[in-house]
Amino acid sequence: MWTKDSLREVVEERLGDYLLIVASNREPYVHTYRKSKIVCQRSAGGVVTALDPVLKACSGLWVAHGSGDADKKTIDQFDKLQVPPDDPKYTLHRVWLTKEEEDGYYYGFSNEALWPLSHISYTRPKFEELDWEMYEKVNRKFADAILKEIGDRKAFVWIQDYHMALLPKFLKEAKGNNIITAHFWHIPWPNPEVFRICPKRTQILEGLLANDLLGFHIRYHCENFISTVEKEIEARVDRERFSIIKGGHETIIRPFPIGVDYEHIDHLSQSREVEEYMQSLREEFLLNYEFIMLGLDRIDYTKGIPERLRAVDRFLEKYPEYKGRFVLIQMGRLSRLHIPVYKNLNDEINALVEEINWKHSQEGWAPILFVRRHLSYPEVIAFCRLANICIVSSLHDGMNLVAKEYVSARTDGTGVLVLSQFTGSSRELEDAVMINPYDTEDFSEKIKKAITMDKKEANRRIIKMREKIALNNVYKWAGKILSELLKFEFKE
Q: What is the DSSP string of 331-395?
A: EEE---TTSHHHHHHHHHHHHHHHHHHHHH-BTTB-SEEEE-----HHHHHHHHHH-SEEEE--S
What is the spatial distance between Cα 72 and Cα 78, in angstroms, rounded to a whole number?
11
Residues of the chain whose pLDDT is less than 70?
Answer: 45-46, 492
4-258+475-485 and 262-471 have identical folds = yes
| Residue 198, burial from CB neighbour count under 10 angstroms (0-12, 13-18, 19+) | buried
pLDDT tens-digit map of 19-67: 899 999 999 999 999 988 999 988 876 678 778 877 887 788 999 999 9
Q: Cα–Cα distances in Å, from 202 out to 57, 104, 152, 166, 234?
A: 37, 20, 31, 11, 10
CATH value of 262-471 in 3.90.1410.10, 3.20.20.70, 3.40.50.2000, 1.10.287.3240 = 3.40.50.2000
Is 4-258+475-485 a domain of CATH 3.40.190.10?
Answer: no
Query: How far is the C-alpha of 341 from the C-alpha of 407, rounded, in Å?
Result: 32
Residue 45 confidence (pLDDT): 66
- Of 279, 300, 289, 272, nearest to 402 by C-alpha is 300
Length of the chain: 492
- Give the ranges where 18-166 is alpha helix by DSSP (H): 46-58, 99-101, 115-118, 129-150
Q: What is the pLDDT of residues 142-196, one digit of tens each?
A: 999 999 999 999 999 999 999 999 999 999 999 888 999 999 999 999 999 999 9
pTM to 2 decimals?
Answer: 0.94
Where do the structural domains in the chain lie, given as residue ranges? 4-258+475-485, 262-471
